[in-house]
Amino acid sequence: AQSVTQLDSQVPVFEEAPVELRCNYSSSVSVYLFWYVQYPNQGLQLLLKYLSGSTLVESINGFEAEFNKSQTSFHLRKPSVHISDTAEYFCAVSEAKGRRALTFGSGTRLQVQP
């Protein structure tokens, strides 16, 4: 079984400031790691994923996350946030084999202020 812990339920930040959203996971099997973003009253959109290879993964809109196996972490970072980044962010893991369902953290609400 897997579990995901997102350490911050809310993160207020000013526009153009850097931000880090923290995520730790536990699992007894190999996993894939994901960050999803949810805008109000919408479904979840994939932000970025780690399946294998380079431990640093990047999204098209400036976010990046680094897989750290020894610390079982997959923190999400952005060097300069915009108002439009205001949303709920979910870290998730899935088994590399089997049912491959996602186990989600409880989410972090990023609030970007002008």
Examine residue 11 and tell whether it contacts another protein (CB under 8 A). no
Identify whether the C-beta of residue 112 lies closer than 8 Å to the C-beta of residue 11.
Answer: no
Alpha-helical segments (H) within the chain = none
Q: Kindly indicate which of the ranges 12-20, 34-42, 59-67, 71-79 contains the residues binding another protein, using the contact rule CB under 8 A.
A: 34-42
In angstroms, give the least distance from the CB of 29 to another protein: 13
Of the residues 27, 32, 64, 72, which one makes contact with another protein according to CB under 8 A: 32
| Token pair recorded at residue 64 | 């990046």
Site string for another protein, 90-109 (x = CB under 8 A): x-x-x-x--xxxxxxxxx--
Identify whether the C-beta of residue 92 lies closer than 8 Å to the C-beta of residue 107.
Answer: no
